[in-house]
């Protein structure tokens, strides 16, 4: 998901939809904690004939001193409460042992150099390194170290893009891990960073270098404060930056769409001939345009436009390889000659399969590396350029696979693999030879041999079969007594796959279990699965999650008073929605950087790009289904809500923090339960949280201590260590 930071004032409304405001104080403040006083106002809108109440609209303005004071007081209360919980300090110690370990990312080879990210065990942030391709890892040189950047500022690196000759690196820098970034270019040999190559507006930039390494194409996101933040996605364009020239002189090679519901991207073929741009309409529709840079008239041509499908294109050996769900909801791969890639010349080379979603492809060593999702876990298969299967890559088991990364002209690529029981490992693979070699692995002080992983299927409300992973100790009792934490997402075509989560190890060792259903709205089972949980079908996502909880209770995995749920971003919308719909089903909720006000979400930051996924309240029919599940608008006074912990980030420029503030205020006012409703503010953090280990330890410690306390995992539970004694 994507968006921008700060408060966006409400737009001008038609006369029958104008806000009406009057002052009205409330004295209703039940609960066990002395919550900060929260002003409640009589603010209403009339939308499509419906009266919509918004008593906490004043909490939308992040720049308002009263709002800042409110969230600071809330955070202070929360941290005092959490610090005093049983096992808090022991948890922090254990998580430090698990988190402060060395980790390495998959490498990239460019020219005669290899680039990768490594975080030493004692470092807060990952450091980017480079070394000669034929040198040992011990000979690596530091390229970028965010731990030593910025002085008083918390500087984050959002990614790097090395030039093809390996002599320069474009990298994206942000403050507090926010999405908004600045592009800089560094010489690998000299370390020089020239001011002429500092480019503002580097959000979603994805620099694509030319083969001569003299410049790159990139997406430029506007930073002009005169442009309302809600309109900025529609003002993004594609530019070319030639090294050593002022960014103000950068050529606009593809103009903006003018539509804030779209976002635009760029790619350049490995040989530098074919320039492609994408216009994405949400997460399941794209237009693709191309330009032959070697042609006498290198004008833009349309590959596909106006269709209701997604298209991703890789170019190799004078052919376009087109991955699409057109006529294939689980995706298939087509090929067309680059000289004339019109639809008449599209040929299917890898067909849609009944079992498995063709999630993505890359061209490595002249082969097509295809990443499949089969029952919500990864598989990797190699094909010849004509679509003939070469082999399926052997993997350690059911897990999460990051697709093979490499270049079309080198036979060696790299993939990352992890599972619920195995930390991430990086494998080196030759497309011409069988087998893989371990390039790097994450070693943790744990033994996971006594963990059991199940995949079950259950019926949702409408009878749809939904899959779910359950992780627990092999000796777990099936009598409903196990504290269980369930998480989900269910949106934006995102697929939840088996992943290694260090924070779950103390939880499971202390007697808990973990569950992860694959909800409609995600991409686990193809585009039909995605569409079944978006826009007017969004309630299916919530029904799937509720049905998963009911299954876990009915089958004896847990009980409602031992069941907690957690979700973030779109997953925060999920857990806040089911909290208002079924407060009786859950004992505790952790809700991170959520959307909760679905009537006004589109007016903040770049949230209009989510309209294709959620719909717009500006249209009557879409307003109705958005309002019908909007969590903020369905908090009811006098309801016994479960214990609730909201996690918000001060520098979140993707999902506006107003959602977290308003929903917390509403719950604190309405709940008739003695259970706490808490608001935790993470400073120096963006939508994805803080990128420092110490802050991750602190947040996960608070989260686990909260959940353990609410679900009864206290001093009488087993000791932590999962290692063999």
The residues carrying an active-site annotation are 569, 687
Output the six-digit token pair for 518. Answer: 């694959």
Q: Could you write out the three-class secondary structure of 399-420?
A: CEEEEEECCCCCCEEEEEEECC
Q: How open is the CA angle 535-538-540, to the nearest 5 degrees?
A: 145
Residue 652: CA count within 13 A, CB half-sphere: 27
Say if strands 425-430 and 436-441 run parallel, antiparallel, or are unpaired.
antiparallel
Closest CA to 480 of 578, 557, 400: 557
Measured distance CA(261)–CA(610) in Å, rounded: 7
Tell me the CA distances in angstroms from 659 to 39, 470, 604, 663, one per residue in order.
Answer: 16, 30, 10, 6
Measured distance CA(6)–CA(91) in Å, rounded: 34
552-557 long-range contacts (CB < 8 A, ≥24 apart) are: 552/470, 552/484, 552/486, 552/515, 553/480, 553/585, 555/478, 556/478, 556/479, 556/480, 557/470, 557/472, 557/476, 557/478, 557/480, 557/482, 557/484, 557/513, 557/515
End-to-end CA distance of the chain: 43
Closest CA to 288 of 254, 327, 319: 254
CA 462 to chain centre: 28
DSSP state of 537: G
Closest CA to 333 of 356, 308, 359, 354: 359
């Amino acid at each position: 998901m994507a968006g921008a930071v700060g408060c966006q004032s409400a737009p001008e409304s038609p006369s029958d939809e104008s806000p009406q405001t009057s002052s009205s104080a409330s004295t209703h403040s039940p609960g066990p904690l002395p919550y900060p006083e929260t002003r409640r106002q009589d603010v209403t809108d009339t939308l499509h004939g419906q009266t919509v109440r918004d008593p906490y609209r004043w909490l939308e303005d992040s720049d308002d001193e009263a709002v800042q004071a409110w969230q600071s007081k809330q955070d202070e209360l929360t941290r005092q409460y959490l610090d005093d919980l049983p096992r808090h300090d022991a948890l922090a110690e254990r998580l430090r042992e698990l988190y402060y370990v060395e980790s390495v990312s998959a490498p990239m080879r460019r020219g005669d150099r290899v680039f990768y990210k490594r975080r030493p065990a004692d470092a807060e942030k990952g450091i980017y390194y480079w070394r000669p391709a034929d040198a040992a890892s011990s000979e690596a040189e530091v390229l970028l170290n965010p731990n030593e950047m910025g002085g008083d500022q918390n500087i984050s690196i959002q990614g790097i893009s090395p030039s093809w000759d390996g002599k320069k690196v474009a990298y994206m820098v942000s403050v507090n891990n926010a999405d908004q970034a600045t592009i800089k270019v560094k010489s690998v040999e000299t370390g020089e960073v020239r001011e002429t190559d500092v480019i503002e507006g580097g959000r979603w930039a994805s620099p694509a270098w030319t083969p001569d390494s003299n410049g790159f194409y990139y997406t430029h996101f506007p930073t002009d404060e005169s442009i309302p933040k809600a309109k900025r996605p529609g003002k993004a364009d594609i530019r070319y930056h030639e090294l050593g020239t002022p960014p103000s002189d950068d050529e606009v090679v593809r103009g903006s769409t003018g539509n804030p519901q779209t976002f635009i991207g760029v790619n350049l073929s490995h040989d530098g001939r074919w320039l492609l741009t994408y216009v994405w309409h949400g997460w399941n529709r794209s237009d693709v345009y191309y330009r032959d840079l070697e042609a006498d008239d290198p004008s833009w041509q349309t590959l596909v436009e106006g269709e209701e499908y997604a298209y991703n294109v890789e170019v190799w050996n004078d052919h376009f390889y087109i991955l699409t769900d057109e006529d294939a909801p689980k995706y298939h791969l087509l090929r067309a000659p680059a000289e004339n890639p019109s639809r008449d010349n599209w040929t299917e080379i890898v067909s849609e399969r009944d079992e498995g979603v063709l999630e993505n492809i890359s061209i490595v060593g002249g082969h097509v590396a295809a990443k499949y999702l089969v029952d919500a876990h990864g598989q990797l298969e190699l094909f010849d350029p004509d679509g003939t299967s070469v082999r399926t890559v052997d993997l350690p088991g059911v897990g999460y696979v990051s697709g093979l990364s490499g270049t079309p002209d080198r036979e060696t690529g790299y993939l990352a693999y992890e599972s619920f029981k195995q930390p991430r490992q990086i494998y080196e693979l030759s497309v011409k030879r069988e087998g893989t070699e371990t390039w790097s692995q994450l070693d943790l002080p744990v033994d996971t041999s006594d963990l059991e992983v199940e995949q079950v299927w259950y019926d949702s409300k409408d009878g749809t079969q939904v899959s779910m992973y359950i992780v627990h100790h092999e000796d777990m009792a099936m009598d409903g007594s196990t504290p269980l934490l369930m998480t989900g997402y269910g949106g934006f075509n995102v697929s939840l796959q088996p992943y290694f989560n260090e924070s779950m190890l103390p939880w499971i060792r202390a007697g808990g279990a973990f569950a992860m259903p694959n909800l409609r709205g995600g991409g686990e089972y193809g585009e039909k699965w995605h569409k079944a949980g978006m826009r007017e079908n969004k309630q299916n996502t919530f029904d799937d999650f509720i049905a998963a909880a009911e299954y876990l209770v009915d089958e004896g995995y847990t009980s409602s008073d031992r069941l907690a749920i957690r979700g973030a971003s779109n997953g925060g919308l999920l857990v806040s929605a089911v909290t208002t719909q079924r407060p009786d089903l859950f004992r505790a909720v952790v809700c991170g950087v959520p959307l909760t006000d679905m009537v006004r979400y589109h007016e903040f930051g770049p949230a209009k790009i989510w309209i294709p996924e959620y719909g717009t309240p500006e249209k009557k029919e879409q307003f109705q289904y958005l309002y019908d599940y909007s969590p903020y608008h369905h908090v009811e006074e006098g309801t016994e809500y479960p214990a609730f912990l909201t996690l918000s980030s001060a520098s979140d420029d993707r999902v506006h923090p107003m959602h977290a503030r308003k929903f917390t205020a509403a719950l604190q006012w309405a709940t008739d339960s003695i259970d706490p409703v808490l608001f935790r503010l993470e400073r120096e953090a963006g939508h994805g949280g803080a990128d420092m280990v110490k802050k991750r330890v602190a947040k996960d410690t608070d989260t686990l201590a909260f959940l353990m306390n609410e679900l009864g995992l206290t001093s009488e539970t087993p000791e932590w260590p999962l290692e063999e004694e």
